[in-house]
Chain A
Amino acid sequence: MGSPTVDEIVKAGTPLLDRRPSSFKRKAAPYGLAAPAALYLGIFFLIPIGYMAYTSLWSGFLGAYSFTWNFANYRYGLETYGDIFIRSIVYAGIVTVLALVLAYPVAYWIAFYGGRRKNVYLFLLLLPFFVSFIIRTVQWQFLLADNGIILGTLKDLGVMPESYRVLGTTTAVIAGITYNFLPFTALPLYVSLERIDKRLVEAGKDLYASKATTFRKVVWPLSLPGVFAAFLLTFVPSVGDYVNASILGGPGNTMIGNVIQTEFLTNFNYPVASAMSFLLIGALLIGATIYARVLGTEDVTSGAIRT
């Protein structure tokens, strides 16, 4: 059978081409698909942030608030809660470093040595998500209670002084936040490590690089996008967290989240609460922009991963 000539192919293809949607339809398709969700995110994510900025410039008292470009709310918030703001950033910084150091080896092990069971290990990492994080935090509260299973038993055995406690300390709060965000640290690390072409590691070995050198010169630089992603997904939510501080901490460990929650839901001091919350998202926006910039220059590395 002779192969068809170009003319025959074109002739056969013409009616089919006609059946394709018009170029207008094809151009409109992505907009039609994206519009409902885009509209929804606009109304329930972007506009509320606008409302928050607006509310943060109110003055007056409950029941008689009015918009007056009252920037004093920001000054008041920072003067009153500045130290708590800084404390939250310091806590979140410690949490992030701890989580990165703890999670990196595990992500590395699953990505490089997970073999056929990779998905099982990943599933185990996701397991905490199947239990409400409030319940998980409360379980830690019970575990670490002054007379709970751990401390109570040790005290009964006389190994630990009666007055020793973990709850209400900075350690408890930082440990709690770290625990809660570990999967969010581990997953992006895993994704970037898994993308690394294993042949690059072998090449390092073939070229007589020691394991440490191969890691330092090949694996670590290529995993940096994952490290940044993990940093962002851990640091940002930790700064705003107030559940751990209120369940595991004491009066000396309140975080900015506790302040925002109390001002909003207990004191109904909407202007100051909005100002604090807006500062938080402002810090996030700056961080996210820097992050995008840094990763923009990192594109060379991520390109190397894929090819």
Chain B
Amino acid sequence: MSAVAASDRVIDLAAEGPAPKPRSQKRWTRFILPTYSALFILYLIVPIVVMIVFSFNTPAGRFNIRWEHASLDAWRNLFFEPQLTDSLILTLEVAFTATIVATILGTFLGIALGRYRFRGSGAMNFVIFLAIASPEIVLGSSLLTMYVNARVPQGFLTILLAHVMFGISFVAITVRARVAGMDRSLEEAAGDLGANPRTTFFKVTLPLIMPGVIAGALLAFALSIDDFVISNFVAGPKLTFPLWVYGATRQGLPPQVNVMGTILFAFGLLIVAAQIIGSRVKESQDRRLMERPRIVAVGLGEAAAPPGE
């Protein structure tokens, strides 16, 4: 900001020719971009607000569409439909397991790709890029054809295997971005001080790349909870939460779905809040911990970066 101000002054000093633009016009246009951005974010949030508000509604019919009157009925009677409850439990089970497996596999892959140039690293980057850029319907339907060909019965395991698959790519890119931006001299210092590779990894490398690992794990978890398309193809008779909701839309959704959506939303916010508070505490150790949203953004951006860059 100060640099901009300084350059303004330079122009003012040098301004002999064209007169500077009237200030008032500048001031008025200044508000266009912020206002537009605020509206844009508001637009993104509208359905979330509707979801939360209508979780307190007492719908007259089967469709939770018009506001009738406020009550806590849906919140009190949350588990009224066993199928819905089961679907929520299944979703959480899959998400937790898939996140753990994907985070471990993806972290190692991310370290390998962020640090080394090796035979096949270009191809590996391209495969990750494809796995992320592919339409979900292709991932889901191709897995289904494999399961059909191999006669694998569809259920919990087939959902889990699929969720680990797309989780790995996202963890790998966030870790890769973090590793690539890491100061390697710290690891070399550890080696010079006599630490063996294992100690160096656990005491130096892992803490340094942790923000990337956590960002990737959160991304994998969120994507797993949210996944509809791939699960739709590989779940067989099982119903995850999004699958149940989709199946129920034609007959009208009970407000309990809004409640569960709200709880999952709050849960997600809590995790992020805990992360931010945790990193504030450790801020003196590593200021970059604060950059988690940026890492996710960069990760997504890098996901689409030209392969083998």
Complex alpha-carbon distance, A247 and B1, angstroms: 47
Q: A16-B192, A135-B257 are in contact. Are A108 and B249 (CB under 8 A)?
A: no
Complex contacts, A249 vs chain B, CB 8 Å: none
Complex alpha-carbon distance, A95 and B246, angstroms: 23
From A20, which residue of chain B is reached at the shortest CB distance? B191
From B195, which residue of chain A is reached at the shortest CB distance? A19
The verdict on B90 contacting chain A, using a C-beta distance below 8 Å, is no
Complex alpha-carbon distance, A124 and B309, angstroms: 29
Complex contacts, B303 vs chain A, CB 8 Å: 233
A40: which of B63, B105, B298 is its contact (CB, 8 Å)?
B105
A270: which of B51, B67, B145, B164 is its contact (CB, 8 Å)?
B145
Complex contacts, A40 vs chain B, CB 8 Å: 105, 164-165, 168
Q: A143-B47, A243-B246 are in contact. Are A30 and B115 (CB under 8 A)?
A: yes
B105 to chain A, nearest CB (A): 4
Complex alpha-carbon distance, A48 and B113, angstroms: 24
The verdict on A292 contacting chain B, using a C-beta distance below 8 Å, is yes
A136: which of B47, B162, B301 is its contact (CB, 8 Å)?
B47
Complex alpha-carbon distance, A239 and B162, angstroms: 21
From A255, which residue of chain B is reached at the shortest CB distance? B137
Q: A30–B112 contact, CB under 8 A?
A: yes
Complex contacts, B222 vs chain A, CB 8 Å: 129-130
Q: A284–B48 contact, CB under 8 A?
A: no
B291 to chain A, nearest CB (A): 7
Q: B113–A142 contact, CB under 8 A?
A: no
Q: How many residues of B contact A (CB 8 A)?
A: 111
A183: which of B7, B10, B44, B162 is its contact (CB, 8 Å)?
B44
The verdict on B294 contacting chain A, using a C-beta distance below 8 Å, is yes
Q: A232–B165 contact, CB under 8 A?
A: no
- Tell which of B78-86, B206-214, B263-271 binds the partner: B263-271
Q: A121–B37 contact, CB under 8 A?
A: yes
A162 to chain B, nearest CB (A): 16
Q: A132-B226, A232-B304 are in contact. Are A142 and B63 (CB under 8 A)?
A: yes
Q: B127–A288 contact, CB under 8 A?
A: no
Complex contacts, B253 vs chain A, CB 8 Å: 138
Complex alpha-carbon distance, A228 and B106, angstroms: 26
CB under 8 Å from chain B, chain A span 106-159:
106, 108-110, 113, 115, 118-119, 121-143, 145, 147-149, 152
Q: B135–A33 contact, CB under 8 A?
A: no
The verdict on B28 contacting chain A, using a C-beta distance below 8 Å, is no
B237 to chain A, nearest CB (A): 12
Q: A37–B192 contact, CB under 8 A?
A: no
The verdict on B239 contacting chain A, using a C-beta distance below 8 Å, is no
Q: B293–A123 contact, CB under 8 A?
A: yes
Complex alpha-carbon distance, A44 and B265, angstroms: 30
A131: which of B47, B64, B161 is its contact (CB, 8 Å)?
B47
Complex contacts, B65 vs chain A, CB 8 Å: 142, 145, 147-149, 152
Q: A280–B37 contact, CB under 8 A?
A: no
Complex contacts, B3 vs chain A, CB 8 Å: 198-199, 202
Q: A236–B134 contact, CB under 8 A?
A: yes
Complex alpha-carbon distance, A127 and B48, angstroms: 9
The verdict on B116 contacting chain A, using a C-beta distance below 8 Å, is yes
A243: which of B127, B142, B229 is its contact (CB, 8 Å)?
B229
Complex contacts, B165 vs chain A, CB 8 Å: 40-41, 44-45
A61 to chain B, nearest CB (A): 15
Complex contacts, A260 vs chain B, CB 8 Å: 137, 141
Q: A48–B146 contact, CB under 8 A?
A: yes
CB under 8 Å from chain A, chain B span 190-236:
191-192, 194, 196-197, 222, 225-226, 228-229, 232-233
The verdict on B130 contacting chain A, using a C-beta distance below 8 Å, is yes
Q: A131–B66 contact, CB under 8 A?
A: no
Complex alpha-carbon distance, A48 and B137, angstroms: 13
Please indicate which of the listed interface residues B108, B128, B272 has the most CB atoms of chain A within 10 Å of its own CB: B108
The verdict on A277 contacting chain B, using a C-beta distance below 8 Å, is yes
CB under 8 Å from chain A, chain B span 249-283:
249, 253, 257-258, 261, 264-265, 268-269, 272
Q: A48-B143, A119-B291, A147-B65 are in contact. Are A243 and B228 (CB under 8 A)?
A: yes
B33: which of A30, A33, A113, A124 is its contact (CB, 8 Å)?
A113
Chain B residues proximal to chain A, CB less than 8 Å: 1, 3-4, 7, 10-11, 18, 33-34, 36-37, 40-41, 43-48, 50-51, 54, 63-67, 105-106, 108-109, 111-113, 115-116, 118, 120-121, 124, 126-131, 133-139, 141-146, 148-149, 161-162, 164-165, 168-169, 172, 191-192, 194, 196-197, 222, 225-226, 228-229, 232-233, 241-242, 245-246, 249, 253, 257-258, 261, 264-265, 268-269, 272, 290-294, 296-298, 300-307, 309
What are 7 A-B contacts with C-beta separation under 8 Å? A31-B118, A33-B109, A37-B105, A113-B33, A130-B48, A130-B222, A292-B126
Q: Which 8 residue pairs of A and B lie closest in terms of their CB atoms, listed nearest first?
A: A240-B135, A191-B301, A229-B304, A37-B109, A139-B47, A30-B116, A48-B142, A33-B112
Q: Beyond the given A179-B44, A233-B304, please list 17 additional residue pairs across the A-B interface where CB-CB is below 8 A.
A: A30-B116, A31-B118, A118-B294, A128-B45, A130-B48, A130-B222, A135-B242, A135-B245, A136-B48, A145-B63, A188-B300, A229-B305, A232-B133, A236-B135, A240-B135, A265-B232, A296-B306
